[in-house]
A and B are shown apart, each in its own frame.
Chain A
Amino acid sequence: MLQAYWYITKMRLITSLTYRFEVFASVGTNLILMLASVFLWKAAYGNGTEQVQALTLQDLTTYTILSIMLASVFVCDVQDTIYSKIREGQIVTDFYRPIPLLACYLADDIGGMLSSMVNKVIPLFIFAALFFGVPWPASPLSFLLFIPSCLLSYAILWLLSALIGLIAFWVMELGNMGMVKDSIVRVLSGSIVPLWFFPESIQTISKFLPFQYTYQTPLGIYIGNIGVREGLMAMGIQLIWVVLLYVLLAAGWRRSKSKTLIQGG
């Protein structure tokens, strides 16, 4: 059973590693985003400012670098996969497979994630280390917490993405709804500017939304701004979101399967 998934993951890993040129350009794009954000923080700290809300420039540099690396690891193509499979009618052959379809798509995305780790994160890390020094975690313990927190983040992001993908079953023409979701996530997850700097009211609202638990939680743990106890609690909330979204997806998936309409022939 697991072998089947591993095969899908492996195939994706191999195909992603073939397109070298795309990889160079993607690393370049992420490098620009990284440089621009770090220099923005440098200008914001300017001359003399030591700490703002207990965060130093070094903290934010590390936060930014890690945030961009996470963004390239967290491959959530599932929304586009479902959409294009429905548009082109391939979803029907996928339904023939003797294993759950969503799990196949997850295996595919995990393959994408593994290849990103090899050919995107490593070069980005090297460049970041050359330009701004190695972005060390606050302590070994925070690194140990960071890893499981990242896995939970990915679970939240992937489930959100799959939920958006489900809409395609109902409307056929999804347009760029995935990109709409992505741009909301980018802001409210604290991936660009940590939510700690946002106005109070928005911080309060965001505690009840899943977004801040995708980027800010693991990154805050990594730079030590979220302590061990708070970190464990935040991970608990992450877990609650994962369960909640999973239940929602399972219910939605059962309904949409019966709605499947095959176009083309």
Chain B
Amino acid sequence: MVNTIRHYFSVAACFARLAVQRQLEYPLFLFSWLLMIPIQYFSGIWMLKIIVDRFQPLNGWDFPELAFLYGLGLLSHGILVVLFINTWHIDNMVIQGAFDRLLLRPMNVFFQLIASYVNFIGLIDLIPGLIIFIYGCQLVGFEWTLGNIIKLLLVLLGGVLIRASLFISLGTIAFWTKRNASMVGFTLSMLERGTMYPLSIYPYVLQVIFTFIIPIGFISFYPAAEFLGKGSESFQLPLNFALATPAVGLVCFMLSQWIFRRGMKSYESAGS
């Protein structure tokens, strides 16, 4: 058992080294991401500030609270992008036959899929995430007690798991359809709009969907409402959301693993 774990660790470390080397090969690529990601997210929060300044708080969420929510959502997005980005490209692997290679190796397929590409460029997503989140914490006067920090880490873990489960399930579709790139883009924009604006600005139907069917409300909205002591006007779920998020995350993740294994059973290679 210990040996197996050590083996998996050494493989993951080797993969990570290769990934880092591969990504450093194109410095201008790195540079362009370094410009684009911060522009994109800082301008996003800036737009919210402009709207709140000219109009009024959005459904009772003023700018400090919006910054906190936005930062929290962005942090879990950043972690996902570092660790799970390969789930976005399953269709490519299937078409090019790269997936067959994973099946031939005597290791857990899902582990190989994730470990074979640690996207350290994704750390760039975490920079604006951290800055906006800490700024939001300052503005709302977030108390950095041990209890709050543990809650925060649990929420982030849960948020990342929820996001990852969504992309794993979507990626599995590629086993049947061989194509899902545009679904990934669709899901990304849904996640962005669903986690960085307060869920309560959307109509009731969408709120129900984003709570019970595709539970992205748990990634940032409910935890932020909990941290900031805001009653969510629409739903009064009798739960401590900071604990609900990791639980929801775990359930989703297990579900997505089940879907992934089902998908692998009906996998037919596309390569020749």
Which residues of A are at the interface with B, using a C-beta cutoff of 8 A?
21-22, 24-26, 28-29, 32-33, 35-36, 39-40, 42-46, 49, 52-53, 171, 173-177, 179-180, 183-184, 186-187, 192-193, 197-199
Contact = CB atoms under 8 A, between A and B. Distances in A.
7 contacts: A35-B202, A40-B51, A46-B55, A53-B54, A173-B26, A187-B43, A197-B54
Given A40-B51, A175-B26, A193-B47, A183 B36 contact: yes
Given A29-B189, A33-B193, A193-B47, A180 B39 contact: yes
B201 A39 contact: yes
B21 interface: no
A168 to B, nearest CB: 10
Nearest to B46: A187
Given A26-B182, A52-B55, A197-B54, A171 B36 contact: no
Interface stretch (B27-35, B112-120, B142-150, B235-243): B27-35
B36 A29 contact: no
Interface of B: 26, 28-33, 35-36, 39-40, 43, 46-47, 50-52, 54-56, 58-59, 179, 182-183, 185-186, 189-190, 193, 197-198, 201-203, 206
Contact of B55 (A21, A28, A39, A49): A49
B203 to A, nearest CB: 7
B32 A175 contact: yes
B151 to A, nearest CB: 27
B32 A187 contact: no
B39 A40 contact: no
A36 B21 CA distance: 39
B56 A49 contact: yes
Nearest to A48: B56
B185 A25 contact: yes
Contacts of A171: 28
B47 A187 contact: yes
Given A36-B197, A46-B56, 8 more contacts: A29-B186, A44-B51, A175-B29, A180-B35, A186-B43, A187-B46, A198-B50, A199-B50
Nearest to A45: B55
A42 B185 CA distance: 25
8 closest Cβ contacts across the A-B interface? Answer: A25-B182, A175-B32, A36-B193, A44-B55, A175-B29, A43-B201, A176-B32, A43-B58
Contact of B193 (A32, A46, A176): A32
A213 to B, nearest CB: 19
A84 to B, nearest CB: 14
User: Most chain-B Cβ atoms within 10 A of its Cβ — which of A36, A45, A173, A199?
Assistant: A36
Contacts of A177: 28, 32
Contacts of B51: 40, 44, 193, 197
B56 A183 contact: no
Contacts of B47: 187, 192-193
Contacts of A175: 26, 28-33
B33 A176 contact: yes
Contacts of B189: 29, 32-33
Given A33-B193, A40-B201, A176-B33, A21 B28 contact: no
A184 B59 CA distance: 29
